[in-house]
Amino acid sequence: MPPVGKDAGKTELQTRIQELIEANQVVVFSKSYCPYCVKVKDLFKGLDVKCNVVELDLVEEGTNYQELLGEMTGQKTVPNVFINKTHVGGWDKTKQAHTDGLLQQLLNPDAETYEYDLIVIGGGSGGLACSKEAATLGKKVMVLDYVVPTPKGTTWGLGGTCVNVGCIPKKLMHQTALLGTAMQDARKYGWEFDERVKHNWETMKDAINNYIGSLNWGYRVALRDKNVNYVNAYAEFVEPHKIKAKTKRGKETIHTAARFVLATGERPRYLGIPGDKEYCITSDDLFSLPYCPGKTLLIGASYVALECAGFLAGLGLDVTVMVRSILLRGFDQDMANRAGEHMEQHGVKFLRKYVPVKVEELEAGTPGRLMVTAKSTDGTEFIEAEYNTVLIAVGRDACTDKIGLALAGVKVNPQNGKVPVDDEEQTNVPHIYAIGDILEGKWELTPVAIQAGKLLARRLYAGATLKCDYVNVPTTVFTPLEYGCCGRSEEKAIEMYGEENLEIYHSLFWPLEFTVANRDNNKCYSKIICNKLDNDRVIGFHYLGPNAGEVTQGYGVAIKCGVTKEQLDNTIGIHPTCAEMFTTLDVTKSSGGDIAQAGC
Ligand code: FAD
Ligand code: NAP
């Protein structure tokens, strides 16, 4: 006898639930306000899996659904998740299944099995962070790292740009230069030592490279400890889930993975003029150059060029920077020019509005002699000058053109080779992700690559939802007078909010440490840009002075928290420091008031 009345209704509902479970890959019985249900829905969204959601608080008979589900599964609570007709459970069980890889199996029961859960291409800042985190979460991970030698034959170990040819040797050479300045100051403070103080390039280069060698070794050990399979080989896609790995000796192997992360970074761009690859070097060669570069020309006017020019001049070398247009494009120009002026006052020559045309060798040697011909950017004048070393720093190209991305179906921007990704670092191919310097429109900084890599692994393998926040990233340019900033440049703030809606506070200052040494009086500078439309919130922070990285890091946290001018004013400074300047700024730029610092 067919059921009647209440029983008939129950059977009908049971059939409806059954049909839902059978017709959909994923069904989530949820309640719209339940935070665990939100987590489950976000997890499937992150996995790019369509799920059929029944919000029990919004549908008719929601309570009856819940009771029946309790009878069917022994679970009365929400979320209640079914995948391909299998009951998974609530948030904890779904998350665990995801971590264990069971979720993926349930989602794709007929899926091919792969050698690895994850293959990361590139063992630099981003790749190492991502691979270690994924392995910590129990995944089978391979990371491939391979350094293509520079045209001069320079190569290096595991760890990518930052460790080998970027932040680390750069900061250590900058420190070498600062020590030179400190030695000059030291005499004023009463230290007595021989008049003739020499710097030995080879000693510095060896010491720094030995330290880098220890870091390379440390990375290898860390990968081994975390069970990441590191292979020193060049990787390129041959199919969407398959790569070919080629070692230095030419040995080729094939590997497959369910997912891939591209973290191949960038390499210095050359100019495409006669003599550039034959005779010039880039930052990839400088830090392990076996001889002192001598009289040096740096071509380019951004981070790399200015930082290298700064420390080379600090070592006492004759240094010229050839600038095509402006200093530090994209940065606050007021700050960039102040940093440049300080360099100029300390002996760096700037050849403005010139670009090189050709480089010829006059004499081979270590260093040799090179003749550089340059033309003015308006094309009217040509000049020639002789240097021992020419360092090209005109930008960096993403290493994406020789890794078989077309065979994997990954789209890149044909203009610059950068990889466009969504806000979860996913490329147009769902199982391929990208992080670090190769990303389109993102910061090219080590901590950014690390954060993106770590969070990506957590989202992929631990059900996490936190995304990398690329906004208000603090950064520092390690010019002789360091420049730290966070948030908007003055130009960008004006463009975004209008000059009338901004209040800019600024001040020159003279660090106490400089006073006895009697140098750089009132050359340091602090500036904040406040949005009048939003409670005088600080939207731009700019600092030119010693220890800019340390100062900016702290204020970076405040800016992330949305600090306002009033809160800065209410903060008591630490005296005597440079950082305290930001707690006492009271002259606005619009007032035209005197900003020179008179006393302490
Ligand atoms: P990388 O660190 O470049 O790593 C990519 C790795 O992948 C490399 O080892 C590469 O050889 C390898 N690779 C490429 N293709 C393949 C392939 N097909 N197969 C296998 N391996 C491959 N950032 C800061 O935050 N602070 C600084 O002070 C700073 N200073 C810098 C100074 C200089 C001179 C330069 C050049 C950069 C500096 N940066 C600095 C930037 C920072 O180094 C980069 O943002 C960071 O290294 C990017 O990390 P990544 O993982 O994207 O790439
Ligand atoms: P970049 O920021 O792309 O700047 C390239 C510079 O070269 C610009 O000054 C540009 O001038 C000039 N240029 C380009 N083509 C030229 C040509 N044909 N002739 C003459 N000049 C030319 O490159 P980068 O300095 O190599 O830095 C790369 C990235 O590394 C940066 O984006 C940064 O994120 C990262 N980095 C960070 C740090 C740090 O955190 N301290 C340090 C170093 C590097 P125009 O302005 O005229 O275009």
CA 274 to chain centre: 33
Kindly give the distance from the C-alpha atom of residue 161 to the centroid of ligand 1, in angstroms, as a whole number.
3
The amino acid occupying position 72 is M
Please report the sign of the dihedral spanned by the C-alpha atoms of residue 338, residue 339, residue 340, residue 342. positive
Please report the sign of the dihedral spanned by the C-alpha atoms of residue 178, residue 183, residue 188, residue 191. positive
Strands (E), 377-465: 382-387, 389-392, 396-398, 432-434
Q: Which ligand is nearest to the CA of 322?
A: 2
Nearest atom of ligand 1 to the alpha carbon of 443: 45
Structure-derived torsion over alpha carbons of residues 183, 317, 172, 168, reported in degrees to the nearest 10: 170
Task: Determine whether the shortest distance from the Cβ of 326 to ligand 2 is under 6 A.
Answer: yes
Distance from C-alpha of 494 to C-alpha of 472, rounded to nearest angstrom = 17
Distance from C-alpha of 557 to C-alpha of 473, rounded to nearest angstrom = 10
Residue nearest to atom 32 of ligand 1 (CA): 166
Task: Determine whether the shortest distance from the Cβ of 325 to ligand 2 is under 6 A.
Answer: yes
Kindly give the distance from the C-alpha atom of residue 250 to the centroid of ligand 1, in angstroms, as a whole number.
24
Place of tokens 């340390």: 550
Kindly give the distance from the C-alpha atom of residue 301 to the centroid of ligand 2, in angstroms, as a whole number.
6
Q: Which ligand is nearest to the CA of 120?
A: 1
Kindly give the distance from the C-alpha atom of residue 282 to the centroid of ligand 1, in angstroms, as a whole number.
14
Are the C-beta atoms of 211 and 125 separated by less than 8 Å? Answer: no
HSE-CB of 326 using CA atoms within 13 angstroms: 11
Token pair recorded at residue 556: 């970076």
Calculate ∠ Cα 47-52-56, nearest 5°: 125
Task: Determine whether the shortest distance from the Cβ of 395 to ligand 2 is under 6 A.
Answer: yes
Reference 300, options 345, 342, 270; nearest CA is 270
Are the C-beta atoms of 298 and 319 separated by less than 8 Å? Answer: yes
Given 255, 346, 431, 575, the catalytic residue: 575
Token pair recorded at residue 451: 């954060």
DSSP string, 299-364: E--SHHHHHHHHHHHHTT--EEEEESS-SSTTS-HHHHHHHHHHHHHTT-EEEETEEEEEEEEEE-
Nearest atom of ligand 2 to the alpha carbon of 304: 25
Nearest atom of ligand 2 to the alpha carbon of 271: 18
Nearest atom of ligand 2 to the alpha carbon of 326: 46
Distance from C-alpha of 475 to C-alpha of 483, rounded to nearest angstrom = 8
Q: Name the DSSP class of 398.
A: E
Token pair recorded at residue 269: 């761009």
Token pair recorded at residue 222: 């860390």
Are the C-beta atoms of 116 and 107 separated by less than 8 Å? Answer: no
Reference 340, options 177, 525, 165, 491; nearest CA is 525
Distance from C-alpha of 145 to C-alpha of 262, rounded to nearest angstrom = 11
Task: Determine whether the shortest distance from the Cβ of 301 to ligand 2 is under 6 A.
Answer: yes
Distance from C-alpha of 114 to C-alpha of 313, rounded to nearest angstrom = 53
Kindly give the distance from the C-alpha atom of residue 85 to the centroid of ligand 1, in angstroms, as a whole number.
46
Phi first, then psi, for residue 260 (nearest 5°) are -135, 145
Are the C-beta atoms of 264 and 398 separated by less than 8 Å? Answer: yes
Are the C-beta atoms of 156 and 212 separated by less than 8 Å? Answer: yes
DSSP string, 476-543: EE-SSS-EEEEE--HHHHHHHH-GGGEEEEEEEE--HHHHHHT-STT-EEEEEEEEGGGTTEEEEEEE
Q: Which ligand is nearest to the CA of 448?
A: 1
pLDDT of residue 5: 58
Nearest atom of ligand 2 to the alpha carbon of 443: 34
3-class secondary-structure state, position 40: helix
Distance from C-alpha of 48 to C-alpha of 259, rounded to nearest angstrom = 13
Calculate ∠ Cα 459-462-465, nearest 5°: 35
CA 448 to chain centre: 3
Please report the sign of the dihedral spanned by the C-alpha atoms of residue 546, residue 547, residue 552, residue 557. negative
Distance from C-alpha of 237 to C-alpha of 403, rounded to nearest angstrom = 6
pLDDT of residue 199: 97
Nearest atom of ligand 1 to the alpha carbon of 304: 34
| Tens digits of pLDDT across the chain (600 residues) | 455 556 667 888 889 999 999 999 999 999 999 999 999 999 998 888 888 999 999 999 999 999 999 998 889 899 999 999 889 999 999 988 886 667 877 888 766 799 999 999 999 999 999 999 999 999 999 999 999 999 999 999 999 999 999 999 999 999 999 999 999 999 999 999 998 899 999 999 999 999 999 999 999 999 999 999 999 999 999 999 999 999 999 999 999 999 999 999 999 999 999 999 999 999 999 999 999 999 999 999 999 999 999 999 999 999 999 999 999 999 999 999 999 999 999 999 999 999 999 999 999 999 999 999 999 999 999 999 999 999 999 999 999 999 999 999 999 999 999 999 999 999 999 999 999 999 999 999 999 999 999 999 999 999 999 999 999 999 999 999 999 999 999 999 999 999 999 999 999 999 999 999 999 999 999 999 999 999 999 999 999 999 999 999 999 999 999 999 999 999 999 999 999 999 999 999 999 999 997 765
Are the C-beta atoms of 103 and 88 separated by less than 8 Å? Answer: yes
Task: Determine whether the shortest distance from the Cβ of 357 to ligand 2 is under 6 A.
Answer: no
Residue nearest to atom 7 of ligand 2 (CA): 394
pLDDT of residue 100: 63
Is-catalytic flag, 199?
no
Predicted TM-score (pTM) of this structure:
0.86
Task: Determine whether the shortest distance from the Cβ of 394 to ligand 2 is under 6 A.
Answer: yes
Distance from C-alpha of 335 to C-alpha of 543, rounded to nearest angstrom = 8
Kindly give the distance from the C-alpha atom of residue 124 to the centroid of ligand 1, in angstroms, as a whole number.
6
Most distant CA pair in the chain, distance: 111
Distance from C-alpha of 27 to C-alpha of 286, rounded to nearest angstrom = 58
Residue nearest to atom 49 of ligand 1 (CA): 125
Q: Name the DSSP class of 124.
A: S
What b/e string do you get for 259-281 counting C-beta neighbours within 10 Å, with b at 16 or more?
A: bbbbbbbbbbeebebebbbebbb
Q: Which ligand is nearest to the CA of 286?
A: 1
Task: Determine whether the shortest distance from the Cβ of 133 to ligand 2 is under 6 A.
Answer: no
Domains of the chain: 5-107 (3.40.30.10), 116-268+397-461 (3.50.50.60), 276-394 (3.50.50.60), 481-583 (3.30.390.30)
Kindly give the distance from the C-alpha atom of residue 303 to the centroid of ligand 2, in angstroms, as a whole number.
6
Pocket test for ligand 1, best of 146, 223, 238, 264 (most atoms within 8 A of CB): 264
Task: Determine whether the shortest distance from the Cβ of 372 to ligand 2 is under 6 A.
Answer: no
Pairing of strands 396-398, 389-392: unpaired
User: Within 6 Å (CB) of ligand 1, which residues are found?
Assistant: 121-127, 144-147, 160-162, 166-167, 170, 234-236, 263-265, 283, 304, 399, 403, 436-437, 444-447, 449
Kindly give the distance from the C-alpha atom of residue 592 to the centroid of ligand 2, in angstroms, as a whole number.
33
Task: Determine whether the shortest distance from the Cβ of 296 to ligand 2 is under 6 A.
Answer: no
Distance from C-alpha of 125 to C-alpha of 219, rounded to nearest angstrom = 11
Q: How many residues belong to the chain? A: 600
Kindly give the distance from the C-alpha atom of residue 170 to the centroid of ligand 1, in angstroms, as a whole number.
13
Distances (CA, A) of 123 to 10, 64, 430, 487, 491: 58, 54, 22, 29, 37
